[in-house]
Amino acid sequence: MTQLADTPRRSLRERRKNLFTLLTCVFALLYLASVFADVFVDANLFWLSAAIVVAMTASTFGWGRTLDEAQLKAHYQAWFWGGSVGLMVSSLIFLALLPTMMSSGSAALGDDIADVATTSFTAGFVLAILPATLGYLVWWAVLWMRNR
């Protein structure tokens, strides 16, 4: 294979970073597909989903090891500021919904408690994680665009 003079060759670190980024995206899409399949198809895909999450976590760690110090610092800063703002949004939403949740909690005890507990746990998990992750992504995108 010949290398053209005006096309720079990517370093091994850059190629590894691209590979781990691609793997993480593929595993994330597989995980979303398994979650949607579990919802719409009457099948228990817990172990498959758990294996995909483990593989996605491993590829994420591989990606993190390829970052240089400046990139790591940018991601730390994005997690701190974006995650903090996102958690603040989660807290405000939780406080706004608290009176509604308290009044409907006693009415829900008559229903199937397992369904209520599962729905409440899932909603709480999403409420805690989603705004923090979105805040990180927004903050990181702003840092990335400013330093381009």
Q: What is the C-alpha separation between 37 and 48, in angstroms, rounded?
A: 11
C-alpha 23/C-alpha 117 separation (Å) is: 34
Q: How far apart are CA 78 and CA 67, in angstroms?
A: 15
Q: How many CB atoms lie within 10 A of CB 56?
A: 19
What confidence tens digit (pLDDT) does each residue in 37-77 have? 877 777 777 888 889 989 999 998 998 899 889 888 988 88
Residue-wise pLDDT tens digits, 13-35: 889 999 999 999 999 899 888 87
What is the tens place of the pLDDT at every residue in 76-117?
888 898 888 888 888 887 777 766 655 555 555 555 555 665
Please name the helix (run of DSSP H) or strand (run of DSSP E) that holds residue 7, with its range, or none: none
